[in-house]
Structure 1
Amino acid sequence: MLKGVNWIAVLVAVVLLEALGYLWYGPLFGERWMAALGKEPDTSNLAVTMSLGVVNTIIIVLGLSWLLRRLGANSLNAALMGALAAWFFFDFTTMAIDYLYVRLSGELVLINMGYQLVAYLVAGAVIGLIKPKAA
């Protein structure tokens, strides 16, 4: 399954998504996100939480890379469309459950969904733009 993974693209995408997360949940939407969350996030084990977040991001980017390769998405446009479809069919619908059944606030869910949408598109763009070395 990991054969043919473009590790350079994965690494670049992971770094960009971590930076995006810092900006999204910090200067861009941090205050609104905290207000919508309704409580202070638990920062008692921040190093572990952040490390697990990076692992989660790696898994997402690897999965997206695998999916786009299986779809034959070899151009920027095809990678973006594949990433958008993956976000919509899997991430959007999964996060919608937080609103429908968990009853998280609409604003909180929209902030989180927005981050995920941009993250999938950035990762898709990186995967579509950085071509693997020829074997």
Structure 2
Amino acid sequence: MPKIFGTNILIILLAAFLFFMLGWLWYGGIFSEKWMALSGMTEEIAAETMTRSMAVGCLLSLLQALGLAGIMSMKSEGGLTKGLKVGGLSWLFFALPVAAYAWNYENSPMELLKIDAGYLLVGYLVMGAVYGLLRKAG
């Protein structure tokens, strides 16, 4: 099986899929009503933009999974703890600042940043765990 950053492509696709599905659960289920109210999203807008949003969401999930695989490739040893550390630190120093930067200039409610940052944290930890547990097996 082909590898990217020393990681089996199927493991990268699994990480991207889990990140994307977490977003579906997070924004489409758990925080759906609150997120829609805070972001100004309506059912009509969601229906109109669904195809584009899902396509771009898949691409962005894959890019983030690839980036995390690249960072993981710099560590010689794996394991769940290492994967969680890499996922957590990547969130803290990359994903959170980007989300907070957008929040700052969009003048969005703090609750919206909490929802977005929470999704990114859980997502990065999940991807880190996947890489930590499966990377050597790939």
TM over 0.5: yes
Take 1:93 and 1:3, find their aligned partners in 2: how far apart are those partners? 25
Match of 2:36 in 1: 34
Give aligned-pair identity as a percent: 33
- Provide the TM-score with structure 2 as the length reference: 0.87
Whether 1:101 and 2:101 are equivalent positions in the alignment is no
Which 10-residue stretch deviates more, 11-20 or 51-60? 11-20
Equivalent pairs, count: 134
Kindly provide the CA deviation profile for residues 30-72 of structure 1, in whole angstroms up to 9, marking residues without a partner as x: 0010111123244324222211110110010011011011133
Q: CA deviation at 1:73?
A: 4.8
Shift >6 Å, 4+ stretches: none
- Give the secondary structure class of the aligned counterpart of 2:94: helix
- Counterpart residue identity of residue 6, structure 2: G
- Which consecutive unaligned segments of at least 5 residues does structure 2 have? none
Q: Does the CA contact (< 8 Å) of 1:64 and 1:83 recur in 2?
A: yes
Does residue 112 of the first structure (1) align with residue 116 of the second (2)?
yes
- Give the 5 Å matches for 1:1-135: 2-40=4-42, 41-133=45-137
| Whole-angstrom CA distance in 2 between matches of 1:3 and 1:34 | 37
Q: How far apart are the structure 1 equivalents of 2:14 and 2:46?
A: 29
| 1:3/1:121 CA distance change after superposition, 3 Å | closer
Structure 1 position 132, deviation (Å): 4.0
Amino acid aligned to 1:5: T
> Secondary structure of the equivalent of 1:43?
helix
Q: 1:24 and 1:43, CA in 2 relative to 1: closer, same or farther beyond 3 A?
A: same
